[in-house]
A and B are shown apart, each in its own frame.
Chain A
Amino acid sequence: MNIQQPKIDTSPKVSDEIRKTTCYMCACRCGINVHMKDGKVAYIEGNRDHPVNKGVLCAKGSAGIMQVNAPSRLKAPMKRVGPRGSGEFEEISWDEALDMAVGLLKPIREKDPKKLAFFTGRDQSQSFTGFWAQNFGTPNFAAHGGFCSVNMAAGGIYTMGGAFWEFGQPDWDRTKLFMLFGVAEDHDSNPIKIGIGKVKGRGGKIIGVNPIRSGYNAVADEWVGITPGTDGLFILAMVHELFRAGKLDLEYLSRFTNAPVLIDAETGLLMRDDAGKELVIDRRTGKLVAFDQKGILPDLAANHEGNRTVFQLMAEKYLDPQYAPDAVAERCGISADRIRKITSELARVAFDEAFELDQSWTDFRGDTHDKMVGRPVSFHSMRGVSAHSNGFQTCRALHLLQIILGTVEVPGGFRFKPPYPKPVSAHPKPHGKVTCNAALDGPHLGFVHGPDDLMLNGDGSPIRLDKAFTWENPMSSHGLMHMVISNAHAGDPYKIDTLFMYMANMSWNSSMNSGGVMEMLTEKDENGDYVIPNIIYSDAYSSEMVAYADLILPDTTYLERHDCISLLDRPICEAEAAADAIRWPVIEPDRDVRGFQTTLVHLANRLGMPGFVNEDGSAKYEDYADYIVNHERKPGIGPLAGFRGKGGDKVGRGEVNPDQLDKYIENGGFYVEHIPEGADFYKPWNSAYQDWAVGMGIYDKPEPYLFSLYSEPMRKFQRAAEGHGDRQPPEHLRERVKATMDPLPIWYAPFEDSHVDTDEFTVHALTQRPMAMYHSWGTQNAWLRQIHGRNPLYIPTKIWEANGFEDGDWAKVSSAHGSITVPVAHMAALNESTVWTWNAIGKRKGAWALENDAPEATKGFLLNHLIHELLPPKGDGLRWANSDPITGQAAWFDLRVKIEKSAAPAECDPAFPPIKSPVGQGPKELTWKVGK
């Protein structure tokens, strides 16, 4: 048949209008163009002008349209009418809901503010929610960092004033060798993919260190399938090799780190002058001088009256044969030769491929350098290394590695993103002084400098419910969200009255020991009252946690709300620019829901909270948008840095501009301010950067500092454990603090290894989030769940064959804590003693408006049931958290299991009874076309 080719319209109208806002399908916060047709969302694509994603968009972002129409969206405020966990609710008005909440919160505020525990999950407004909690007056606030990646954040800040992801990024345009630790598919989403594309496009190399070869590790030129929990050992073996070969950037170490600082041989503290400045020996004059004097060259090799430099301690420690490749190879699951080859390649690229940018700059000492030396090796890391009980020290070790190679804040290396770099001293310390009917004495979370800053009462008991900033985990800068329910239930350290949570699926995938948490949330005391008396919860969707709350304050979807992605919070800056952004309602909700932050403003107004009401009791802010524009944290500094001042022409500092949100919308939903040329490298020491940052309101004064290879705060805690000072750890923690608070990075085996029989539980078990769902509520998403609707347990060849597994088989997987029975699948590209699955695919029947036979609810499972928030009892009557002993980070990835073949059950075990869906179920078919 020879037919006439049809004429088609190749230039159809694309949309009526494009509304530019910020994605919230994960924590990446890309710019999106929302194409509108007839007032409805027709299509979502990336915003080319946006600093984060530069036009590209991941699967989640494009699937946002299915999130906005999801049948699981909550419709109205609800109060519980059945028992907790049943899912039986009655819709109520906002007035009734707010009255109920105020009825619970007001007496707490008047009598005992700590009885409110307010914790937020995947909250992108922590500077606001924290401000609310501070003005309420409870010491019990944190977001989800404690169970996510506080080791990474705190390890970076304590070592070099910033970490990966939101804090910094590789110099993607110049780096030639990129080494990735413990990141398979997640943080951060699009920028890493863009960066990998750039590095590969130039013929650069990528080394992926991960027990699982998926995602980024699948495209890595070298895959290092390391044994979980041994990254620190591998890194220190490379440090050993670099020291041994003298492949160290001595000039960088001398000028920009505390390697040349003298250590008081008696105390182990840094030697300081009367002004508190660290002391070094100037190699040129041999004199003892403050580190910041003009023209000096601090001497790494100095010995002053028996007091040696940090560098000498480092050499002694890391040259020790315990770190030799041959000594670590077996434990790491990496051959000694391969460790040597990788180290050699790092050194070759850092030193033999060094280059110079013809750009002069002046350092904080006043010394001018005519060139910028580039070392094109860069690193990135996230949860894989941090979610272990040795994660903080491992993160420090990784920074040690990149610093001795001289690759931080230099061309081709790792670069900070404003407001980082920022030394520990420029961060607040934690606060916890409670006064009834008044605000807390300062921000909850911060960075301790030593034992004096711990949140302890006079009797040594914890101030905070989660026991953050106590001897159990002194440097817990993000709090311990994973301990909140467990501690509230146990009344350890005290009972609470109301648990108030936002976007935190604690009765399911966001808790260790999910089944136990369900029991804690539903257990009643001898009077028949719930042990945790009141629970208020806010979510946009019918998550598993909804069923366990007494009062639901329904949130909007991300296209129906105002938000700010603020420099005061977790910003979206680039190495060469400061940036912030907004969300705005590109559509109005078609349900009786309100943005949670607006609900918090309404509650604060009704409670008459300081910071939210004027002296006459009138409200300062009508809603969250009003707060974003009009709130000033300090005079002239508010949530948004762009378009400040009456005319909208001021940046960083400037008076309130009532038209600020309109300006952001006109500008595509974001604001970018570029760092001047010559100020964009060596930022912690570069006077031009420091001055720019002061102008932007990032610092109040220039804050140059030395990288802390030797951590003095850690030495102070260690010294207290050695018996010095007024505040010392309790006896049961003394030895642990002494051993783990080593001021130079060390490695020790994950705690689970010493608490369970490693001969019985021989297998490591991990989870990953798939790229198409990471950080998102994707399993309810009609498009995304077709990609990842099942999560078998992936089993390496050796274990697969030893158990005689075949396709379609099931296995019983047991840990010291519990067991699950789940479907298995073979995967060869996997560390031989590691099994894993996709996290949070498994769903509770009745949640998320999915039908009861959804594969997520029948064949999907959580590894969480195998992980306890506590270590197995030691017989001392104490509750030992399954957390990093330094930061309290949940040690999810310490898990050890054993695997046995099992008969195939009808569904995964454990199976929980369905909860009643408060929103009904979704449609049977979707043909989603909004245009004509």
Chain B
Amino acid sequence: MTTLPGKTEKKLGLVIDLDTCVGCHACVISCKGWNTENYGAPLSDQDPYGGDPSGTFLNRVHSYEVQPLATSDKPHPAAQLIHFPKSCLHCEDAPCVTVCPTGASYKRVEDGIVLVNESDCIGCGLCAWSCPYGARELDQAEGVMKKCTLCVDRIYNENLPEVDRVPSCVRTCPAGARHFGDFADPESNVSKLTAERGGMDLMPEQGTKPVNKYLPPRPKDEMDQIDVLAPFLAPVAEEPAGFVGWLDKMLEKI
């Protein structure tokens, strides 16, 4: 068993906007690229050109179809598709840390990032088993556990321009659906977004206190309701002759 810090100085994490995520997978591949070349062992791929390709990814996007229930206003609501990016949520009560038999999994005191010290990892897989989110992947080539590092080798990296000191998934997201910041600071961009948009914990009942938050999709298909929100356009004339009369009047005003 490994101990979690009582409190971290910062609570770094991501806000992921499910209203805006178009499911393009840019974050997935940017993450794969950065983390193959940087922190720890490369993210390997097995059978990459064969019948059953599989590789290590620290971030994946799942798509879920949702069928809203019929209501009296909307008797036939259209189904919706929600794109759901998922990576380590850097939980405050991270079960993957406390379950680690070697101390390889740990939560950093200074910023709350959950990391794996690969030289101490024995690849037992307990942490992946304990993570309710399925956010850890055992690299098949290296035999060590891989997970989102929140790009710990980018966010403080003095070799990068300041503007680029964000996780690679955030830097690359074309729709701007991913935000990085310190949840310990109520004035941070991520704290404010979470407050304004009703940011949610993923599976709060698990008691993991995830740091990352998800912004829920806004209500959809409001023009498909039976009650009239906006009035229909009123006709200027029912007959072509009436239209000509209207036109003449309108042209006088130009």
Instruction: Give residues in A with beta carbon < 8 Å to B.
Output: 1-3, 5-6, 8-14, 35, 37, 42-46, 48, 53, 55-63, 65, 71, 185, 189-190, 193-194, 196-198, 200-201, 213-216, 218-223, 225, 241-247, 250-251, 254, 283, 297, 299-301, 312, 315-316, 319, 335, 337-338, 340-345, 347-348, 771-772, 780, 782-787, 789, 827-830, 849-851, 853-855, 858, 921-931
Q: Which of A300, A341, A930 neighbours the largest number of chain B CB atoms within 10 Å of its CB?
A: A341
The CA-CA distance from A222 to B171 in the complex, in Å, is: 28
What is the 8 Å Cβ interface bit string for chain B, positions 31-45, against chain A (1 contact, 0 not)? Answer: 011101111011011
- Expressed in whole angstroms, the minimum distance between the Cβ of B120 and any Cβ of chain A is 8
Q: Is the CB of B160 within 8 A of A348?
A: no
Q: Which of B65, B108, B109, B115 neighbours the largest number of chain A CB atoms within 10 Å of its CB?
A: B65
Nearest-neighbor residue (CB-CB) of A931 within chain B: B37
Q: List, in ascending order, chain A residues with CB within 8 A of B37's CB.
A: 35, 37, 42-43, 928-931
Which residue in B48, B172, B240 is a CB contact (below 8 Å) of A315? B240
Q: Is the CB of A244 within 8 A of B157?
A: no
Q: Is the CB of A783 within 8 A of B29?
A: yes
Which residue in A201, A343, A771 is a CB contact (below 8 Å) of B23? A771
Which residues of chain B from 220 to 254 have any CB-CB distance to chain A below 8 Å in the complex?
220-224, 226, 228-237, 240, 243-244, 246-248, 250-251, 254
The CA-CA distance from A218 to B32 in the complex, in Å, is: 25
Q: Is the CB of B42 within 8 A of A62?
A: no
Nearest-neighbor residue (CB-CB) of B160 within chain A: A14
Contact A242-B233, Cβ < 8 Å, known A213-B79, A221-B218, A829-B81: yes
Asked if B103 is at the interface of the complex by the 8 Å CB criterion, the answer is: yes
Q: List, in ascending order, chain B residues with CB within 8 A of A42's CB.
A: 37
Q: Is the CB of A6 within 8 A of B117?
A: yes
The CA-CA distance from A60 to B159 in the complex, in Å, is: 26
What is the 8 Å Cβ interface bit string for chain B, positions 1-26, against chain A (1 contact, 0 not)? Answer: 11100000000000000011111111
Contact A772-B254, Cβ < 8 Å, known A10-B157, A197-B177, A223-B220: no
Q: List, in ascending order, chain A residues with CB within 8 A of B63's CB.
A: 214, 218
- Expressed in whole angstroms, the minimum distance between the Cβ of A400 and any Cβ of chain B is 17
- Expressed in whole angstroms, the minimum distance between the Cβ of A323 and any Cβ of chain B is 13
Nearest-neighbor residue (CB-CB) of A782 within chain B: B48
Nearest-neighbor residue (CB-CB) of B48 within chain A: A782
Nearest-neighbor residue (CB-CB) of A828 within chain B: B79
- Expressed in whole angstroms, the minimum distance between the Cβ of A34 and any Cβ of chain B is 11
Given contacts A11-B158, A315-B240, 12 further A-B contacts (CB under 8 A): A11-B157, A58-B24, A59-B28, A197-B177, A200-B20, A214-B81, A218-B23, A301-B247, A341-B223, A344-B230, A771-B22, A786-B45
Which residue in A55, A218, A241 is a CB contact (below 8 Å) of B82? A218
Q: Is the CB of A829 within 8 A of B20?
A: no
Asked if B206 is at the interface of the complex by the 8 Å CB criterion, the answer is: no
Asked if B53 is at the interface of the complex by the 8 Å CB criterion, the answer is: yes
Q: Is the CB of A241 within 8 A of B233?
A: yes
**Would you mind naming 21 contact pairs between A and B with Cβ atoms under 8 Å apart?**
A10-B157, A43-B37, A59-B29, A196-B22, A197-B176, A218-B82, A219-B22, A222-B224, A250-B254, A254-B254, A300-B247, A301-B244, A315-B244, A344-B230, A771-B24, A771-B25, A772-B24, A782-B45, A782-B48, A782-B49, A927-B142
Q: Is the CB of A221 within 8 A of B243?
A: no
Contact A772-B159, Cβ < 8 Å, known A316-B240, A347-B233: no
Which residue in A193, A213, A348, A929 is a CB contact (below 8 Å) of B175? A193
Contact A222-B22, Cβ < 8 Å, known A10-B157, A782-B45: no
- Expressed in whole angstroms, the minimum distance between the Cβ of B194 and any Cβ of chain A is 15
Q: Is the CB of A11 within 8 A of B36?
A: no
Which residue in A190, A341, A851, A929 is a CB contact (below 8 Å) of B232? A341
Q: List, in ascending order, chain B residues with CB within 8 A of A771's CB.
A: 22-25
Q: Is the CB of A925 within 8 A of B220?
A: no
Q: Is the CB of B177 within 8 A of A850?
A: no
Asked if B134 is at the interface of the complex by the 8 Å CB criterion, the answer is: no
Asked if B106 is at the interface of the complex by the 8 Å CB criterion, the answer is: yes
- Expressed in whole angstroms, the minimum distance between the Cβ of A860 and any Cβ of chain B is 12
Contact A12-B157, Cβ < 8 Å, known A59-B24, A225-B78: yes
- Expressed in whole angstroms, the minimum distance between the Cβ of B216 and any Cβ of chain A is 13
Asked if B184 is at the interface of the complex by the 8 Å CB criterion, the answer is: no
Q: List, in ascending order, chain A residues with CB within 8 A of B229's CB.
A: 341
Asked if B80 is at the interface of the complex by the 8 Å CB criterion, the answer is: yes
The CA-CA distance from A185 to B63 in the complex, in Å, is: 14
Q: Is the CB of B44 within 8 A of A925?
A: yes
- Expressed in whole angstroms, the minimum distance between the Cβ of B84 and any Cβ of chain A is 11
Asked if B129 is at the interface of the complex by the 8 Å CB criterion, the answer is: no
Nearest-neighbor residue (CB-CB) of A346 within chain B: B233
Q: List, in ascending order, chain A residues with CB within 8 A of B57's CB.
A: 786
Q: List, in ascending order, chain B residues with CB within 8 A of A10's CB.
A: 152-153, 155-157
The CA-CA distance from A247 to B231 in the complex, in Å, is: 14
Which residue in B3, B231, B250 is a CB contact (below 8 Å) of A2? B3
Q: List, in ascending order, chain A residues with CB within 8 A of B2's CB.
A: 1-3
Which residue in B36, B160, B175, B232 is a CB contact (below 8 Å) of A194? B175
Q: Is the CB of B55 within 8 A of A65?
A: no
The CA-CA distance from A849 to B48 in the complex, in Å, is: 11
Q: List, in ascending order, chain A residues with CB within 8 A of B32's CB.
A: 62-63, 783
Nearest-neighbor residue (CB-CB) of A54 within chain B: B174
- Expressed in whole angstroms, the minimum distance between the Cβ of B128 and any Cβ of chain A is 19
Q: List, in ascending order, chain B residues with CB within 8 A of A851's CB.
A: 49-51
Q: List, in ascending order, chain A residues with CB within 8 A of B231's CB.
A: 344
Q: Is the CB of B83 within 8 A of A218?
A: yes
Q: List, in ascending order, chain A residues with CB within 8 A of B233's CB.
A: 241-242, 244-245, 247, 340, 343-344, 347
The CA-CA distance from A685 to B158 in the complex, in Å, is: 50
- Expressed in whole angstroms, the minimum distance between the Cβ of B172 and any Cβ of chain A is 5
Q: Is the CB of A13 within 8 A of B251?
A: no
Q: Is the CB of B26 within 8 A of A850?
A: no
Q: List, in ascending order, chain A residues with CB within 8 A of B38's CB.
A: 12, 43
Contact A13-B48, Cβ < 8 Å, known A6-B117, A928-B42: no
Which residues of chain B from 74 to 91 have any CB-CB distance to chain A below 8 Å in the complex?
78-83
Q: Is the CB of A218 within 8 A of B22?
A: yes
The CA-CA distance from A348 to B230 in the complex, in Å, is: 9
Asked if B141 is at the interface of the complex by the 8 Å CB criterion, the answer is: yes
The CA-CA distance from A13 to B82 in the complex, in Å, is: 38
The CA-CA distance from A800 to B117 in the complex, in Å, is: 49
Q: List, in ascending order, chain A residues with CB within 8 A of B49's CB.
A: 71, 780, 782, 849-851, 854, 921-923
Q: List, in ascending order, chain A residues with CB within 8 A of B159's CB.
A: 11-14
Q: List, in ascending order, chain A residues with CB within 8 A of B223's CB.
A: 222, 338, 341-342, 345
Asked if B131 is at the interface of the complex by the 8 Å CB criterion, the answer is: no
- Expressed in whole angstroms, the minimum distance between the Cβ of A491 and any Cβ of chain B is 40
Q: List, in ascending order, chain A residues with CB within 8 A of B109's CB.
A: 5
Q: List, in ascending order, chain A residues with CB within 8 A of B39's CB.
A: 8
Q: List, in ascending order, chain B residues with CB within 8 A of A931's CB.
A: 37
Asked if B69 is at the interface of the complex by the 8 Å CB criterion, the answer is: no
The CA-CA distance from A6 to B106 in the complex, in Å, is: 9
Q: Is the CB of A5 within 8 A of B46?
A: no
Asked if B188 is at the interface of the complex by the 8 Å CB criterion, the answer is: no
The CA-CA distance from A9 to B149 in the complex, in Å, is: 13
Nearest-neighbor residue (CB-CB) of B118 within chain A: A6
Asked if B200 is at the interface of the complex by the 8 Å CB criterion, the answer is: no
Q: Is the CB of A213 within 8 A of B33?
A: no
Nearest 9 CB-CB pairings of A with B: A922-B49, A193-B174, A245-B233, A828-B79, A853-B51, A197-B176, A782-B48, A246-B236, A829-B79
Which residue in B152, B243, B244 is a CB contact (below 8 Å) of A8? B152
Asked if B205 is at the interface of the complex by the 8 Å CB criterion, the answer is: no
The CA-CA distance from A159 to B10 in the complex, in Å, is: 57
Asked if B202 is at the interface of the complex by the 8 Å CB criterion, the answer is: no
Q: Is the CB of B243 within 8 A of A62?
A: no
Asked if B70 is at the interface of the complex by the 8 Å CB criterion, the answer is: no
Q: Is the CB of A62 within 8 A of B29?
A: yes
The CA-CA distance from A812 to B55 in the complex, in Å, is: 33
